[in-house]
Amino acid sequence: YFIILLTWILALSHLCLLYSPDLREIVFIIQSQNNSFHVRQADKRRADLLKQAQGLTKKPPVVLLLHSLSHNEGDWSILPLLPYLSYSFGKNSSWIVFLEEETNVKMNTLIQVLAKFDKNKDWFLGKPLHDEESTIIHHYAFAENPSIFKYPDFAAAWALSIPLVVRLANKVRDEPLKSDFTIDLKHEVALYIWDSGKGPDLTAVPELCTEPENSPQALYCATTLSSEPPLTRSLLDVKPCIGFFLPFALVPVIKKTWEKDALFLEYYSDHADPTIPTINLGVPNTERGHCGKTFAILQRFLSSAVPNTKWLLIVDDDTLISIPRLQVLLSCYDPSEPVCLGERYGYGLSQGGYSYITGGGGMVFSREAVVRLLNSGCKCYSNDAPDDMVLGMCLNALGLPVTHSPLFHQARPEDYARDFLAHQVPISFHKHWNIDPIAVFNKWLKDDLRANPSDGLNKSTKTEL
Ligand SMILES: *[C@@H]1O[C@H](CO)[C@@H](O)[C@H](O)[C@H]1NC(C)=O
Ligand SMILES: *[C@@H]1O[C@H](CO)[C@@H](O)[C@H](O)[C@H]1NC(C)=O
Ligand SMILES: *[C@@H]1O[C@H](CO)[C@@H](O)[C@H](O)[C@H]1NC(C)=O
């Protein structure tokens, strides 16, 4: 009886191999970024994919790093890249699999999972996320029933069948991409593919997972989140600055939440107030924009009026941020490089636009980035220009990359999918609208590190960062 069963299992596994796609039919694209730390991470991921493939086949699959495909700033938004993908792989491949640097792939399982789908049809595969309530970051889409629309969690990897890539590429060629702003790429990509019902929905693939790779739940997963050795907590001096000071009522929130974690902190306003205290930068307060003030902060950062630190953080007065987590994250980056870090948005990316770090989630600059920005002579076209977008234009003109971290958030926790937040240790949130900011800080951003400061963040926290 056992022997028969075993033979059956063997026969079945052979069947699987028989129908599984050739690894050469799968093109892997790592959603990599042009920054030395991220390039190292992406190279490691690529090496792992090729090593696994070597054990399965003589001919390695194509593994591409997104940031190195061209010098086009908009490539990270994927859609402008579709014509290239269709042209290069439309004839000789079956699947394009997108993954992030920290997406761990079990090659064997992934091949078997893809084999379940007819490669001659349109497929958009992934781990679905959905909104609980309509949210500003998705332009309040599907306001009547936000949870009906599914979009992929990029961390679990996502895949397009080649027939779909070819069709989408034709669409991109025929009608130029419309959207001005790229805010939450995964949602925007899903909307574009769905095409008001003319295209496919996201098909949920349970084997595409975001569990940590060693967790028992990950047994049947084709993808997991890598559990790299924990980051070492290095000695850092972060210099956070609070810019743009509007309602004074918000200061008590900062004082009760993250102020004490900052090594050096200044509040800026259009007049000096010794009770906070604030510093007058000599730039009038503006209703919107704040570009003038932000450039004054950049200049002050390089001046002898403040301690010489490696990093500058600029946030709004209604940003909630975890300074200890930011310090751990920054230990990955080299402050002697021009680093500009935060939540990346895009403007007009499909027509030669630019990327920028959205201000509300917090903008982090290395000293070198500030030096280059100011030396370039780039400046505000008016004091009330949107500071984050002007900085993005300046960086773009200088050819300096904007580095994205999904741990920074331009909106409130309720504006993001629950399953998306579930596998991250967030660094910031923004806006106090309809929430109790202190409760949000305590729930999402507070670590009780002071109890055991030498211990730092615990292992799971470090891993995620
Ligand atoms: C990456 O960024 C550097 C500047 O830091 C730039 O010189 C280089 O051209 C960029 N590489 C790509 C592929 O865009
Ligand atoms: C398909 O073509 C591209 C270039 O057009 C090449 O890089 C890739 O290796 C080819 N893949 C296969 C499986 O032949
Ligand atoms: C530390 O890890 C445990 C799970 O192992 C978790 O419940 C706890 O919240 C973590 N603490 C911090 C400070 O992240």
CATH number at residue 299: 3.90.550.50
Q: Is the predicted pLDDT of residue 63 greater than 90, yes or no?
A: yes
The verdict on 42 and 188 lying in the same domain is: yes
Average pLDDT value for residue range 277-300: 83
Task: Tell me how far apart the alpha carbons of residues 332 and 407 are, in angstroms, rounded to a whole number.
Answer: 14
Q: Is there a single domain that holds both residue 283 and residue 141?
A: no
Average pLDDT over residues 224-228: 80
Residues 117 and 181 in one domain: yes
Strand segments, DSSP code E, in 383-458 are: 403-404, 428-430
Instruction: List the residue whose alpha carbon is closest to atom 12 of ligand 1.
Output: 71
Determine the distance separating the centroid of ligand 3 and the alpha carbon of 142, expressed in angstroms: 35
Gap from CA of 398 to ligand 1 centroid (Å):
10
Which ligand has its closest atom nearest to the C-alpha of 84?
2
pLDDT of residue 261: 78
Choice among 175-189, 225-239, 296-310 with the minimum mean pLDDT: 225-239
Mark whether 176 and 303 lie in a shared domain.
no
Domain shared by 23 and 152, yes or no? yes
pLDDT at 339 over 60: yes
Range in 56-70, 129-143, 442-456 the model is least confident about: 442-456
CA distances from 316 to 143, 289, 361 (A): 28, 11, 8
Q: What pLDDT, on the 0 to 100 scale, is given for residue 32? A: 97
Q: Which of 32, 33, 34 to mutate to test the pocket of ligand 1 (most atoms within 8 A of CB)?
A: 34
Cis omega (within 30 of 0) for bond into 277 = yes
Our count of domains for the chain comes to 2
pLDDT at 101 over 90: yes
Given 225, 256, 289, the domain boundary residue is: 225
Boundary of a domain, candidates 202, 225, 248:
225
Same-domain pairing of 248 and 276: yes
Range of the domain at 345: 238-464
**How confident is the model over 347-367, as pLDDT tens digits?**
999 888 999 999 999 999 999
More confident residue, 8 or 384: 384
Does residue 183 sit in the same domain as residue 48?
yes
Angle among Cα 126, 127, 128 to the nearest 5 degrees reads 105
Per-residue confidence (pLDDT) for residue 462, from 0 to 100? 39
Res. 20 pLDDT band, cuts 50 70 90: low
Q: How far apart are the C-alpha atoms of 226 and 461, rounded to whole Å?
A: 13
Which residue has the least CA distance to atom 8 on ligand 1? 399
Q: What is the pLDDT of residue 6?
A: 54
Instruction: Identify the weakest region by mean pLDDT among 125-139, 143-157, 261-275, 343-357.
Output: 261-275
- Domain membership of residue 343 (yes or no) is yes
Distance 406 CA to ligand 1 centre (A): 21
Has residue 232 been placed in a domain? Answer: no
Which helix (H) or strand (E) segment holds residue 95: the answer is strand 95-99
Q: Are residues 80 and 208 in the same domain?
A: yes
230 falls within a domain: no
What is the per-residue pLDDT for 235?
36
Same domain, 65 and 211: yes
The whole-chain average pLDDT of the chain stands at 86
Q: Is the pLDDT of residue 248 over 80?
A: no
The pair phi, psi for residue 74, each rounded to 5°, is -85, 0
Residues lining ligand 3, Cβ inside 6 A: 447, 458, 460-461
Q: Could you tell me if the CB of 319 is within 6 A of ligand 1?
A: no
- Structure tokens, 322: 């975890």
- What confidence score (pLDDT) does residue 10 get? 53
* Closest by CA position to 355, among listed 77, 135, 32, 66: 77
- CB within 6 Å of ligand 2 — which residues? 24, 62, 88-89, 92
Residues 257 and 193 in one domain: no
Average pLDDT over residues 244-270: 70
pLDDT over 70 for what percent of the chain?
86
Residue 455's pLDDT band (boundaries 50, 70, 90)? very low
Query: Helices 162-174 and 82-89, interaxial angle, to 10°?
Result: 130
Question: Is residue 11 over pLDDT 60?
Answer: no
Q: Do 319 and 351 have their domain in common? A: yes
265 part of a folded domain: yes
Q: 155: burial class by Cβ within 10 Å (0-12, 13-18, 19+)?
A: buried
* Amino acid 227: pLDDT: 67
If we measure between CA atoms, which residue out of 409, 293, 423, 396 comes closest to residue 342?
Answer: 409
Whole-number pLDDT of residue 456: 44
pLDDT computed for residue 309 by the predictor: 85
d(CA 155, CA 103): 6
pLDDT per residue as tens digits for the range 76-91: 999 999 999 999 999 9
**Is residue 379, in this structure, part of any structural domain at all?**
yes
* 13: confidence class by pLDDT, cuts 50, 70, 90: low
Residue 458 has pLDDT above 50, yes or no: no
Pick from 40-54, 110-124, 147-161, 282-296: least confident? 282-296
Of 225, 256, 275, the domain-final residue: 225
pLDDT of residue 40: 94
pLDDT > 80? residue 66: yes
Spatial distance between the Cα atoms of 18 and 35, rounded to a whole number of angstroms: 41
194: in domain: yes
233 part of a folded domain: no
Atom of ligand 1 nearest to the CA of 337: 5
C-alpha angle with apex 335: 391 to 317, nearest 5 degrees? Answer: 50
**pLDDT band at residue 127, thresholds of 50, 70 and 90?**
very high
Rounded Cα gap, residues 38 and 46, in angstroms: 12
Question: Which of 23, 42, 18 is CA-nearest to residue 31?
Answer: 42
Same domain? For 303 and 380 the reply is yes
**Mean pLDDT for the stretch of residues 133-159:** 94
Q: Is 71 in the pocket of ligand 1 (CB under 6 A)?
A: yes
